[in-house]
Structure 1
Amino acid sequence: MGGFTEAVRERVRKARSALSEAVKAEDAYEVAVAQDELDDALRVARRHGIDVGMDVAADEG
């Protein structure tokens, strides 16, 4: 696996984690920031055909 692929997967993993923590903390601002980062990371992954393990619909719910 290439370094770029691994970096994109790690970015998605961190973004998912940040979103989860922000939701648990009920911090609307951090949820918005984390969701934006996740959306961007997933967009990069899709653009490059990188499987990140979950579909986008699961992340939006």
Structure 2
Amino acid sequence: MGGFTEAARKRVHDARAAVAAAREAGDAYEAAVAQDELDDALRVARRHGVDVGDDTAAEADEG
């Protein structure tokens, strides 16, 4: 696995965790910021063909 691929996967993983933590804490602002980071991380990864798995629960905008 190349360095870019590993970094992209880690960025998505960390962003998914941040979204989940912010939602669990009930922090709407942090959840929105984390969701933006996740959206960007997924966009970059997909644009470069990096398989980051399918975790739609973390990606769903539940507010």
CA distance in 2, matches of 1:60, 1:24: 14
Amino acid in the other structure paired with 1:31: A
- TM-score, structure 1 as length reference: 0.92
- Seq. identity, %: 69
Moved over 3 A (4+): none
CA distance in 2, matches of 1:52, 1:30: 22
- TM-score, structure 2 as length reference: 0.89
CA distance in 2, matches of 1:53, 1:41: 13
**How many residues get paired?**
59
Structure 2: any 5+ residue segments left out of the alignment?
Answer: none
